[in-house]
Amino acid sequence: MNLDQLFYIVEIAQTRSLTQAARNIHVSQAGLSQSLAQLEDELQVTIFKRTVKGSELTPEGERIVDQARQVLAAVADLKAEAASINSNQPLLFKMGVANELMAQFATEIQIFQDQHPHFQLSLAEGLTDQIVSEVRAGNLDLGFIVVNRQRYDQLLDLQFKAVMPAQFKVYMASDHPLAKQDQLSATDLKQVKLAVFTDEYIEDFIADFTNQHGPLNVVLRTTAFKLVYDYMVNQGAVSIIRDSQFHNKLHQDQGSQIVGRDLQTADRHQFMLGWLYRDDRHFNHLERAFIQAMTASLQVD
CATH code of 73's domain: 1.10.10.10
Lowest mean pLDDT segment, chosen from 23-32, 43-52, 143-152, 173-182: 143-152
pLDDT of 101 over the 70 cut: no
Beta bridge partners of 49: 56
The model's confidence at residue 249, banded by pLDDT at 50, 70 and 90, is low
pLDDT value of residue 64 = 95
**Same domain membership, residue 128 and residue 79:** no
**Same domain membership, residue 210 and residue 94:** yes
**Same domain membership, residue 106 and residue 24:** no
Query: What's the rounded Cα separation, in Å, for the pair 246 and 214?
Result: 26
**Same domain membership, residue 277 and residue 146:** yes
Other CB atoms within a 10 A radius of the CB of residue 4 amount to 11
The model's confidence at residue 4, banded by pLDDT at 50, 70 and 90, is very high
pLDDT value of residue 253 = 52
Pairing of strands 270-278, 142-148: antiparallel
User: Could you tell me the CA-to-CA distances from 277 to 61, 137, 143, 157, 173 in Å, in that order?
Assistant: 26, 10, 6, 10, 38
Percent of the chain with pLDDT over 90: 51
**Same domain membership, residue 73 and residue 110:** no
Q: Which residues of 66-99 are buried (b: 16+ CB within 10 A; e: fewer)?
A: eebbeeeeeeebeeebeebeeeeeebebbbbbbb
Higher local confidence (pLDDT), 115 or 153:
115
**Same domain membership, residue 211 and residue 114:** yes
Other CB atoms within a 10 A radius of the CB of residue 63 amount to 13
Asked if residues 240 and 263 have their Cβ atoms less than 8 Å apart, the reply is yes
DSSP state of 247: I
pLDDT value of residue 301 = 44
User: Could you tell me the CA-to-CA distances from 20 to 17, 61, 183 in Å, in that order?
Assistant: 5, 19, 63
Higher local confidence (pLDDT), 245 or 90:
245
Query: What's the rounded Cα separation, in Å, for the pair 149 and 153?
Result: 8
Mean pLDDT, the chain, rounded, equals: 87
**Same domain membership, residue 105 and residue 80:** no
Asked if residues 85 and 72 have their Cβ atoms less than 8 Å apart, the reply is no
**Same domain membership, residue 21 and residue 143:** no
Closest CA to 103 of 135, 125, 118, 128: 125
Largest CA distance in the chain: 81
pLDDT value of residue 65 = 94
Q: Which of 44, 61, 87 is the last residue of a domain?
A: 87
**Same domain membership, residue 66 and residue 213:** no
- As to burial, measured by CB atoms within 10 angstroms (0-12 exposed, 13-18 middle, 19+ buried), residue 299 is exposed
pLDDT of 55 over the 50 cut: yes
Closest CA to 300 of 90, 97, 59, 103: 103
**Same domain membership, residue 110 and residue 36:** no
pLDDT of 102 over the 70 cut: no
- As to burial, measured by CB atoms within 10 angstroms (0-12 exposed, 13-18 middle, 19+ buried), residue 25 is middle
Domains held by the chain: number: 2
Query: What's the rounded Cα separation, in Å, for the pair 290 and 91?
Result: 12
CATH of the domain at 182: 3.40.190.290
Percent of the chain with pLDDT over 70: 89
pLDDT value of residue 252 = 52
pLDDT value of residue 300 = 46
Q: Which of 29, 56, 87 is the last residue of a domain?
A: 87
Query: What's the rounded Cα separation, in Å, for the pair 189 and 20?
Result: 64
The model's confidence at residue 243, banded by pLDDT at 50, 70 and 90, is confident
Q: Which of 66, 87, 108 is the last residue of a domain?
A: 87
**Same domain membership, residue 141 and residue 49:** no
pLDDT value of residue 82 = 74
Query: What's the rounded Cα separation, in Å, for the pair 216 and 154?
Result: 29
Tell me which residue range forms the domain holding 32: 3-87
Strongest mean pLDDT among 73-77, 130-134, 221-225, 252-256: 130-134
**Same domain membership, residue 94 and residue 75:** no
Whether the CA torsion 65, 67, 73, 79 is positive or negative: it is negative
**Mind listing the pLDDT tens digit for each residue in 144-171?**
998 988 788 888 889 999 998 888 999 9
